[in-house]
Amino acid sequence: MTSLRAAALLIAALAFAGAARAETAPDWSGRYGYAETGGRTAGGTGIVVTHRIAVTREGGQYRAEITASGYQTQVQIFALGTVLGSKLQLRFERDGDEQMFKGRYRPGALLLELERAGGRRIVTHWGAYAPATTERFRNPGAYFKREEPAATPR
């Protein structure tokens, strides 16, 4: 009887510890933005692409809408997010209606990871989704910044 009681106490303690850890884990919900500047074309046109990520949380699942617009770019993709330690992994779910080149990513492909690196600094680990002018950018690097709370992805 005492071993049954001890087991019940242990299970309750583990459940409480897990719930406390989940409550103290930082919430990734919000809007993140990054303006990519890739120099100029031969004709002098500025190469600028604005990337945005809107992250929402539905229960224990994160969802994200990733958009990019600018120089020869029109992206709208949806991703599922998973928290691993201090990182939010975003994996491809589906193309949006405004996605210029559909079928570019496979379901489940790691698009990118956002990592909290102390304070408000966020480090981006590029995956299948990367800047338009990738040769100019380090991986990983500090690119996205938190802007405001997220709207619900469409």
Distance CA 50, CA 117 (A): 23
pLDDT-derived band at 5, boundaries 50, 70, 90: low
3-state secondary structure the chain: CHHHHHHHHHHHHHHHHHHHHHHHCCCCCEEEEEEEEEEECCCCCEEEEEEEEEEEEECCEEEEEEEEEECCEEEEEEEEEEEECCEEEEEEEEECCCCCCCCCCCCCCEEEEEEECCCCCEEEEECCCCCCCHHHCCCCECCCEEEECCCCCC
pLDDT per residue as tens digits for the range 84-140: 999 999 999 999 988 878 889 999 999 999 999 987 899 999 999 988 776 667 889
pLDDT-derived band at 7, boundaries 50, 70, 90: very low
pLDDT of residue 24: 58
Architecture of domain 30-148: Beta Barrel (2.40)
pLDDT of residue 20: 43
Higher-pLDDT residue of 3 and 110 is: 110
pLDDT per residue as tens digits for the range 8-50: 554 555 454 444 444 456 799 999 999 998 888 899 988 899 9
